Amino acid sequence: MKKGAKNHKDLPHIFRIPKTLGQKAADFMTKWAGSWTFIILFFIFIGIWMATNGYFLLKYFKEGITDPYPFILLNLALSCLAAIQAPIILMSQNRGAQRDRIKADYDYHINKKAEKEIREIKQILLKKRRR
């Protein structure tokens, strides 16, 4: 692959394979879920949830609480989030591995071509030396 190739037209055709909707969604989800923005917002959300439910726990100790300690509904939401995120992240990692395999195969073919050209140049130089 060319260094500094900014335009997708500069890349070999093998790297310009269009992504499916699922692949685009997996890449987006992986970028978002792996960002500091998501992590910070997630901690803020959990903190607000726990503070709100803790407040209601103290205020309405004997009455019905929306999400009683140990925050069963929050636990369910976090489990569902993990169950959904894990396969999506794995799909994105598989795409990355597939992309790396294609890149390695492409590099191998380029190296073989360069090796062949070097052999041809070496033969030409040997012929010139013999003259």
Residue 48 identity (one-letter amino acid) = I
Rounded Cα–Cα distance for residues 27 and 113 (Å) = 33
Cα-Cα-Cα-Cα dihedral sign, residues 101, 1, 27, 9 = negative
**Own/partner pairs for 1-9, CB < 8 Å, 24+ apart?**
1/103, 1/106
Q: What is the pLDDT of residues 46-104, one digit of tens each?
A: 888 878 877 766 666 656 655 566 677 778 888 888 888 888 778 778 878 888 888 88
pLDDT at residue 111, as a whole number = 94
Neighbouring CB atoms inside 10 A of 52's CB total: 12
- pTM over cut 0.85: no
